Amino acid sequence: MAEPHAVSQKLPQSETDAAPEPDLLDAYRLMVLARATDERCLMLQRQGRIGFYAPLMGQEAAQVGASRALAPQDWIFPAYRELAVALARGVPLRAIFDQLLGNADDRIRGRQMPNHFGFRDVNFVVASSPIGTQITQAVGAAMAAQRRKDSIVTIAFFGDGATSSNDFHAGLNFAGVFQTPTIFFCQNNQWAISLPREKQTRSATLAEKGSAYGMPGVLVDGNDFLAVYSAVREARERALSGGGPTLIEAEVYRFGPHSTSDDPKRYRTEEQLAAAKERDPILRLKGELVSAGRWTEELDHQLWEEVRTRVTRTFEEAEKAKPLDPRSIFDDVFAHVTPQLAEERAQFDAELRDGVLKL
């Protein structure tokens, strides 16, 4: 079995790169925005102001690094933890909060559970809860792009737990056979909810699983923005040149719970968490910027204050939006309203009017 190769911080040089050299300060600001939003969403759920949330704290460099190596025309197939990917893609913070609340401004019109957003205008597919389903979807879209001769790649984001799913095997097998322009980006945050990575597989790494499907497996430090950027950019170049798919394993650590329904203190120790936080990706990039003379503690304090204020105000604006009209459940079902649906809607309206239904 071929050994997965690690990626250093040195960026590859290529005249065909679609992605420009990354702006580290821009990346840092995005990572801070993602962290501040993450912290706020956890508090909002505990306060009962949103119903559910899946935090990404500790995975910011992996998500922003991967996103910055993609082109606008590429398609993103997320799991349910890719807030930083959405923000890096240019999704407005207000749109994220609208979806978490399911208000009248929610672009998905309340059709999805919280934290399962999607944005067609930036090729960001709606997330799904079932583990690994986005993997096969990304491969199918890539196969379609091949047939249409579209110069794009698709990227599927998933966690270490998804590597044990049926869709992981089916997706990577199809991708390998048909040499699809797909990047499989595994954020190995060490825990599939409460199951540690070492109890999930006997493989030395998750990246080496790519060899079984005939594709390169790349192991990368997910706390290193430049290393992630480099790995994804190289995989994208390979895919566009006809070299087929790549499996990337970004080693990170989930600082928070799997979701707001989870208590990580039941399955991991404070010592484990403290050790992981010593490799905090945000502190790492901040240190690099300070060492390069591009950042100071004063500027950092100012940035955090501004970002946290922006997050708070944006959520308060979203919270003031009108609730979703309950009649909207009859919209977007059929292209043309059927007689049966029209009858059901008329009955629904009558029961609302007569007070039979209490909303």
Q: How far apart are CA 58 and CA 71, in angstroms?
A: 24
With b for 16 or more beta-carbon neighbours within 10 A and e for fewer, the 122-139 pattern comes to ebbbbbbeebbbbbbbbb
Set 267, 268, 310, 345: catalytic member: 267
Does the annotation count 53 as an active-site position? no
CB 241, CB 12: distance < 8 Å: no
**Torsion over CA: 5, 6, 10, 13 (sign):** positive
Does the annotation count 254 as an active-site position? yes
Q: How far apart are CA 96 and CA 86, in angstroms?
A: 9
CB 185, CB 249: distance < 8 Å: no
Set 40, 89, 236, 254: catalytic member: 254
Residue 12: how many other CB atoms lie within 10 Å: 11
* Chain centre to alpha carbon of residue 253: 15
DSSP state of 12: P
Does the annotation count 109 as an active-site position? no
Give the residue carrying structure tokens 């698709």: 154
Report how many helices (DSSP H) and strands (DSSP E) the chain contains, helices first. 11, 8
Helices (H), the chain: 24-46, 60-68, 83-88, 93-101, 133-148, 166-178, 225-240, 270-277, 281-291, 297-319, 339-353
List, by residue number, the catalytic residues. 254, 258, 267
